[in-house]
Structure 1
Amino acid sequence: MIKAGEDRMDQSGRWARGVLAGASVAVLLAFGGPAAGAAEQVPGAGTAEQVPMAAAEIKLTFAPVVRAVAPAVVNIFSQRVITESQVPPMFADPLFRRFLEERGMLGKPRERVQRSLGSGVILRSEGVVVTNAHVVNGASEITVALNDRREFPAELVGLDPRADLAVLRIKSDTPLPSLALADGEPPEVGDLVLAIGNPFGVGQTVTSGIVSAQARTTAGISDYRFFIQTDAAINPGNSGGALVDLSGRLVGINTAIYSRDGGSVGIGFAIPVEMVRSVVEGILEDGKVRHPWLGADGQSVTTELASHMGLDRPLGVAITDVAKGGPAAKAGLAEGDVILALDGRPVFEGETLRYRIATHRPGDKVVLGIRRDGKDTTLAVTLEAPPEDPPRDTTLLKGSHPFDGAEVSNMNPALAEELGLEKASRGVTVTGLGDGVAARIGIRPGDRVIEVNGKAIDAVRDLKAAISKPSRVWQVVVDRDGRAVRLVLGG
């Protein structure tokens, strides 16, 4: 089970200064060169990395890295007001609730303050802080505490729930310590990393480990299931904290753990720095994140597809649909092409492609490595913002019909991006539900309306026309997560 690394508390935890000493392994150049009696270099290894074999090497410490990095890692305390209904669960049916409200029989909602704890990283000396969206989303008050005990009220600049990242701003009369973002290639499996945060509110804590895996896409924490996996201990309260390399550069934002009991079992996940950079820059420049659009859909290459396409292994994304006039179409991408790489980096599956596209911004040019008719070639694609085509025509439906209380919209690429959908299937999508018939009969947000009384629904105007005339029996077909759901009810 995936558990977001957030701890909810009623009061702030104790402060403690985290220092890590007596590490059992070390990268020599991170601490100024080899120790006396260094072992012979491992065959095939680069000159920058050696296996510690002498006693003097094993006694090396991460303390210099921690001293440089720790001041830029902060604690984040947030609180939000939660309104709780005093209606017993047995009376929670929308129809019965409305009956009670109309007769003034509902008690006043009760409010309580919910406090949450997380971590964050200062990225700019003028007070730009990044953390996880789930740490601060919906908060009415946010406080950032530095490891020197100073506290600042924080302003939420913007957040991207799909990437689970948020940007805060604090104001200080003096420059604040900040952390540099790692550039170039991501850390490799086996690289040493340090995780810094405030687990369980005990105070700033440092743990060490290695990069256990890259491109781990099975962790359903955010819409972009692409993470650095580490065995450095990450616990509740570490969300938004730093994962750094031994040069003291940020390589990821700690976001979640795999756990059965809430504690660390050596499987933690961090959002890679390239996604952090893209989201932070977008929020600071535009106040929101504008993820780019490729204008093509496809499916991950399976073993069967790989054999059929002449590939020696299941790798890449087979294109099944190209949007007319979109960036991919303009670049010459066609149905049947297989995307194998983006900017020279391999595309293992659909999730990888979505992630690599999402780390760019509209207007960026990327180079796709593709397989077409058994031959490899490249295409240069200029990414664009997802278009509002067709117009959404968002409408709240009311009346004596199955969609009473439902908000519906024409699906388009921009709306699909907002809703976190992998594909912008044309048609009418339920985007919201209020009290009404739709909620009671089981219509859900995200349902795509296919038919009403045998009439195909391609646009909001078609749905409005179909429900405008009374009917003794309503037959509705909606698409829900790729399967058809049929509803039949009396008028």
Structure 2
Amino acid sequence: MQHPIIERSSRIPAPSRRRASRFALMGAAAALAFGAVVAPVGGAFAEAPATLSAPAGPSSFADVVERVKGAVVAIKVKAYEESHNPFEGQELSPDDPMYRFFKRFGGEMPQKRMTQSQGSGFIISADGYVVTNNHVVEHASEVEVALEDGRSLSAKVIGTDKRTDLALLKVNDGAKLPYVEWTATPPRVGDWVIAVGNPFGLGGSVTAGIVSARGRDIGAGPYDDFLQIDAPVNRGNSGGPAFDERGAVVGVNTAIYSPSGGSIGIGFAIPAEVAKDVIAALKDKGVVSRGWIGVKIQPVTQDIADSLGLKSTKGALIAQPQKGAPAEAAGLKSGDVIVAVNGEKIDGPRELARRIAAMGPNKTVDITYLRNGSEKSAKLTLGKLPEEREARADEEDMGGPGGGGGSHVASLGIEVAPASEMRGGGGEGLYVVDIDPGGAAAQKGLRRGDVIVEAGGQPVHTRSDLSSAIDGARKEGRRSVLLRVKSADGSKFIAVPVKQGAG
């Protein structure tokens, strides 16, 4: 992950023979404990009377832990690190000085080094399907599953999904294995949660806490929707289960927020409602196929809403449709705001991405969007989300006139020139050649080298075009002018404040 102190509660390297007491920690974030799992988990606690005036938690989790711990496992991984040997793959002659060097000091040419690491997982069926994190087994050459009774079984990787950091393994024991089941009811904030896993290689560890928050976005990917829990989790807990107080799996422990690498009470788990669908797809096909409409989207900020004359910040703003993608084929354009899918309202970009992805490819959907203040609809057929998507701006030279001037451009704190006159600027829009670091545009994220292609919904080719858009926004009483900008990161919209009464 990119966040400086969000760490995977991933696997940890196994202790080496030289330093058996020292654990090299690699990731950090899963739910508690080791293994647990038993045939379908039923309720273990009686319902609390509705007349209680204050919440009362269980006096002990021992009964639940005893029932589920057999299904929680330790994942042991062997992998080979990439060698940094510059001579790898080369055949050296015995007459070569480097050959004699390696023979004298190393015996042989350096080879890739095998590493061993550990994580957590849990069994979800009697025939041996095991859930863990993708990052636990991503580079594995061999995977073993250590059961709670001390046995180790060789595991096959059935499928992985990098976008949600989930993986499905299979072990064969010849007998029915203890297992646990997914919860049918998502937990509420404040509900008890029990984590079981393999922290620091110490199998069978249990901790407890509550669900602190739902729907957390930690920058891990486009489908972030994590449970935040305060049950202590540490490195090596990755892939382990988070249980409710009845023993059903409510999440898969994946990451922790930690400046030190250890638990400070902020852990993150993939919710069961997300995990079980992904795992079902991996079991069925070995991969997850997601729906795709082919747009770059961004949130509707209050400034952007004001610039577009919108009453709400709900929805997802299309910064740029991809060429040939379903959205472009259906007529969607930059500046449109998607507000509903199949009649169901969406709050923002992440909800749109998750909903479209979950539908899968080849489905026909109705998209409701706003354009120039009017509500419109489009019907489109979803494509398949590509494995890798191009993140750079469109570099095609589309042509366009230059020249012109403008009296309001300076109020934004920028200096522009026709992009066609600038080397590498392309032929479209206005190139930002200079910017005041304390000016309105810089404060909103505009940078030198960006290209302004639209202002106020209209193409701009000259300073006069940009000045007219600023003047138009001012006369309409709007607080901002909406710019569509191309940068190294792609297209995006930026709402830049305009000075009222400036002339």
**What interval of TM-score do these two structures reach, taking the shorter chain for normalisation?**
0.5 to 0.7
Aligned mate of 2:9, from 5, 8, 11? 5
Deviations 1:431-488 (A, max 9, x none): xxxxxxxxxxxxxxxxxxxxxx97989xxxxxxxxxxxxxxxxxxxx985349xxxxx
Map Cα deviations across residues 147-195 of structure 1 (whole Å, 9 max, x no partner): 12222100111212232211111012112222222346x4332222222
- 1:325-358 alpha-carbon deviations (Å, 9 max, x no partner): 7544677766544334557876443234323333
Which residue identity does 1:31 align to in structure 2?
Answer: F
- Name which of structure 1's ranges 103-112 and 123-132 shifts more when overlaid on structure 2: 103-112
1:3 CA displacement: 1.5
Of the three residues 454, 462, 481, the one matched with 2:489 is: 481
How far apart, in 2, do the equivalents of 1:426 and 1:140 lie? 41
Match in the other structure for 2:161: 160
- Quote the residue 1:109 is aligned against: 110
| CA distance in 1: counterparts of 2:146 and 2:424, whole angstroms | 60
Shift of 1:316: 2.4
1:137 maps to 138
Any idea what the Cα deviations from partners look like across 1:262-315, whole Å, max 9, x if unmatched?
110111111222332232222222222222212333221112122344555533
Match of 2:194 in 1: 194
- What is the CA–CA distance in structure 2 between the aligned matches of 1:225 and 1:102, rounded to whole Å? 57
Q: Which moved more, 1:133-142 or 1:366-375?
A: 366-375
Separation of aligned partners in 2, 1:266 and 1:278:
28
| Contact 2:394–2:490, Cα closer than 8 Å, also in 1 | no
Decide whether the 8 Å contact of 1:215 with 1:352 is kept in 2. Answer: no
Partner of 1:32: 46
| Change in 2 beyond 3 A, CA 1:380/1:277 | farther
**Cα distance between partner residues in 2 of 1:344 and 1:212:** 31
Contact 1:77 1:118 in 2 (8 A): yes
284-293 or 148-157: bigger deviation: 284-293
Deviates more, 1:162-171 or 1:377-386: 377-386
Distance (whole Å) between structure 2 residues aligned to residue 66 and residue 198 of structure 1: 14
TM-score normalized by structure 2?
Answer: 0.63
Mapping 1:259-408, distance limit 5 Å: 259-309=258-308, 311=310, 314-322=313-321, 326-328=325-327, 336-340=335-339, 347-363=346-362, 370=369, 383-386=382-385
Residue matched to 2:444: none
The amino acid that maps onto 1:295 is G
Q: Tell me which moved more, 110-119 or 63-72.
A: 63-72
Pair 1:160–1:143, CA change in 2 (3 A): same
| Pick aligned residue for 1:419 from 385, 388, 394 | 388
Q: Following the alignment from structure 2 to structure 1, what is the Cα–Cα distance between the partners of residues 243 and 424?
A: 58
User: Which residue identity is paired with 1:245?
Assistant: D
1:210 maps to which residue? 210
Q: Which one has the largest radius of gyration?
A: 2
Q: Answer yes or no: is the 8 Å Cα contact 1:297–1:423 preserved in 2.
A: no
Indicate the SS of the match to 2:169: strand
Q: Which amino acid aligns with 1:192?
A: W
Shift of 1:232: 1.2
Identity of aligned residues (%): 38
Structure 1 residues 98, 316: closer, same or farther in 2, change over 3 A?
Answer: farther
8 Å contact kept, 1:162–1:420: no
CA displacement, residues 188-243 of structure 1 (integer Å, 9 cap, x when unaligned): 322222222111111212222222222221x2334533322111111001000012
Cα–Cα, structure 1 residues 344 and 423, in superposed 2: closer, same or farther, change >3 Å?
Answer: farther
**2:441 matched to which residue of 1?**
none
Give SS of 2:350's match: helix
Letter aligned with residue 291 of structure 2: P
1:101–1:133 distance in 2 versus 1, CA, 3 Å: farther
Asked if 2 retains the 8 angstrom alpha-carbon contact of 1:275 and 1:359, the reply is: no
Instruction: Tell me: higher relative CO, structure 1 or 2? Use CA pairs within 8 A at least 6 residues apart.
Output: 2
Q: Which ranges of structure 1 fall in alignment gaps of 5 or more residues?
A: 21-28, 42-50, 387-413, 428-452, 458-477, 484-491
1:357 and 1:79 map into 2 onto residues whose CA distance is 37
SS at match of 1:167: strand
Structure 1 residues 64 and 127, CA gap change in structure 2 (3 angstroms): same
Secondary structure of the structure 1 residue equivalent to 2:278: helix
Residue aligning to 2:432: none
Displacement of 1:105 in angstroms is 2.9
Runs of at least 5 residues in structure 2 that lack an aligned partner in the other structure = 22-31, 37-42, 103-108, 397-422, 428-485, 492-503
The 1-side partners of 2:373 and 2:205 are apart by: 53
**CA shift in 2, pair 1:312/1:383, >3 Å:** same
Task: Return the alpha-carbon distance in structure 1 between the equivalents of residues 325 and 284 of structure 2.
Answer: 25
Q: Deviations over 1:346-403 (max 9, x none)?
A: 64432343233334432456666655665778877653324xxxxxxxxxxxxxxxxx
**DSSP-derived class of the 1:232 partner:** coil
Matched residue pairs, number?
375
Mapped to 1, the partners of 2:126 and 2:366 lie a distance apart of 34
Report the CA distance shift for 1:381/1:244 in structure 2 as closer, same or farther (over 3 A).
farther
Q: Tell me by how many angstroms 1:419 deviates.
A: 2.4
Partner SS state of residue 162, structure 1:
coil
- Name the aligned partner's letter for residue 8 of structure 1: P
Equivalent position of 2:183 in the other structure: 182
Q: Which region of structure 1 is more displaced relative to structure 2, 288-297 or 101-110?
A: 101-110
Partner Cα distance (1:426, 1:249) in 2: 51
1:373/1:83 Cα in 2 relative to 1: closer, same or farther (>3 Å)?
closer
Aligned residue for 1:243, secondary structure, equals strand
CA contact (8 A) 1:85 1:110 kept: no
Distance 1:279 1:19 in 2: 21
Q: Hey, what does 1:150 align to over in structure 2?
A: 151
Residue 422 of structure 1: how far off its partner (Å): 6.3
The answer to whether the 8 A contact 1:163-1:222 is kept is yes
Task: Report SS of the residue matched to 1:284.
Answer: helix
Q: What is the root-mean-square deviation in Å for CA atoms of aligned residues? A: 4.3
For residues 454 and 255 of structure 1, do their structure 2 counterparts lie closer, same or farther at Cα, with a shift above 3 Å needed? closer
Q: Partner residue of 1:444?
A: none
User: Within 2, Cα distance between the matches of 1:384 and 1:424?
Assistant: 21
**Structure 2: distance between partners of 1:141 and 1:367:** 46
- The 2-side partners of 1:263 and 1:178 are apart by 29
Q: Distance in 2 between matches of 1:216 and 1:344?
A: 25
